[in-house]
Amino acid sequence: MHLIREERAAAPVIPLPPGGYVIHVSLGLVSDVRPVTIRQEETTRETFDLAAGGLRIEGRVGTSKIPQGQIVFSIYKGSQFEIGTGDRSPIAQNVAAGDVLMLPAGIYYLVSTYGDANSIVRSDIRVQAAKLTDVVVTHRAAVITLKLVGEKGGEALANTAWSVLTPAGDVIKESIGAFPRVMLAEGEYKAIAKNDGKVFERDFEVKNGVDGEVEVLTR
């Protein structure tokens, strides 16, 4: 079996010699395959009814829309509460906010990741055939800028190695720089700064939607 022709039109007209063929049609992640027979001096009409729906997702913190590029989504088949969800592979990864993804009608769950730290939200959704489903995922998080300074409001020290930990000591984020930005889920954290062979630290709290700076003092 080899490919004879591809068409991207909604209702293509394809002249073919008599014989047997297989038609494959796809729309996003929805597809169908059907064998057809073309007869001499006859016009064959085939209609494909795809049970497909569109999914468009955006993320928010409070009432503020999360900019595209700061949030990505992964889509999984079925509900997150079904047994064996940990072994599933996503059917779509790195889906950007605002993009329309075509899916077979059914139940899915999405994993929304804001930034590259620990602001992750999971949600079950239903996609209906012939409809566009708009989903808004709300993250309880904030953008925090870390600074190692000699005094409050002072100049940030360069070449600083940072670690952000939970109260239990789990490492959430590591980075190097004078003032790295990190998106964190609301909660309590410890910032550890290493500079010039010395270690400094500070406990801090992240409140939903309250972006700000966390200054760690060298004295």
Assess whether 129 and 188 both reside in one domain: no
Token output for 80: 């997150």
pLDDT band at 96 (very low <50, low <70, confident <90, very high): very high
What pLDDT, on a 0 to 100 scale, did the predictor assign at position 184? 99
Assess whether 79 and 65 both reside in one domain: yes
What domain range is 205 assigned to? 141-217
Token output for 217: 């003092």
Domain boundary among 104, 123, 139: 139
Assess whether 113 and 148 both reside in one domain: no
103-159 pLDDT per residue, tens: 999 999 999 999 999 999 999 999 999 999 999 999 999 999 999 999 999 999 999
Contact 207, 188 (CB under 8 A): no
- Tell how strand 71-77 and strand 92-96 pair up: antiparallel
Would you call 85 helix, strand, or coil by DSSP? helix
Domain boundary among 115, 139, 163: 139
Assess whether 132 and 148 both reside in one domain: no
Assess whether 57 and 33 both reside in one domain: no
33-53 pLDDT per residue, tens: 999 999 998 999 999 999 999
- Tell how strand 141-149 and strand 181-185 pair up: antiparallel
Q: What is the helix, strand, coil percentage profile of the chain, to 5? A: 0, 55, 45
CA pair distance 10, 180, nearest whole angstrom: 48
Assess whether 208 and 151 both reside in one domain: yes
Q: What angle do CA 11, 13, 15 make, to 5 degrees?
A: 160
Number of compact structural domains in the chain: 3
Assess whether 130 and 56 both reside in one domain: yes
Domain boundary among 112, 139, 166: 139
Assess whether 116 and 126 both reside in one domain: yes
Assess whether 128 and 60 both reside in one domain: yes
